[in-house]
Amino acid sequence: MVYLQEKENDLNIDSDLVSFSEAMNGDNFDKWLDAMKDELKSMAQNGVCDLVELLEGCKRVGCKWVLKTKRDSHGNIECYKARLVAKDFT
């Protein structure tokens, strides 16, 4: 019984991740672009990283966008969140 109750309240949060191509080709691409611009602005204001010339023999660190819609308790979209994260560089 408890399992069913949890299932009824499940907002399917794990499957709410959106790929970059889905975001750019979807109806809400302008909202995703705004979220990405906000992330880049925040990173610049907080001095998170510096762009530098890559030295010979060094490996670059790749990055990717992690996109997620934030929802309220009823499942309605509250905002679009974008995070630029480093990829594994080993």
**Is 5 a domain residue?**
no
Residue 1 has pLDDT above 70, yes or no: no
> Is the pTM value of this prediction over 0.75?
no
Residue 4 has pLDDT above 70, yes or no: no
What pLDDT sits at residue 65?
93
What pLDDT sits at residue 6?
44
**Is 1 a domain residue?**
no
Q: How many domains does the chain have?
A: 1
**Is 24 a domain residue?**
yes
**Is 80 a domain residue?**
yes
What pLDDT sits at residue 83?
94
More confident residue, 2 or 49: 49
Cα atoms in the Cβ-side hemisphere of radius 13 Å centred on 65: 20
What pLDDT sits at residue 62?
86
Question: Positive or negative, the Cα torsion across 34, 65, 79, 39?
Answer: negative
Single out the residue of 54, 63, 51, 65 nearest to residue 89, CA to CA.
63
**Is 75 a domain residue?**
yes
**Is 4 a domain residue?**
no
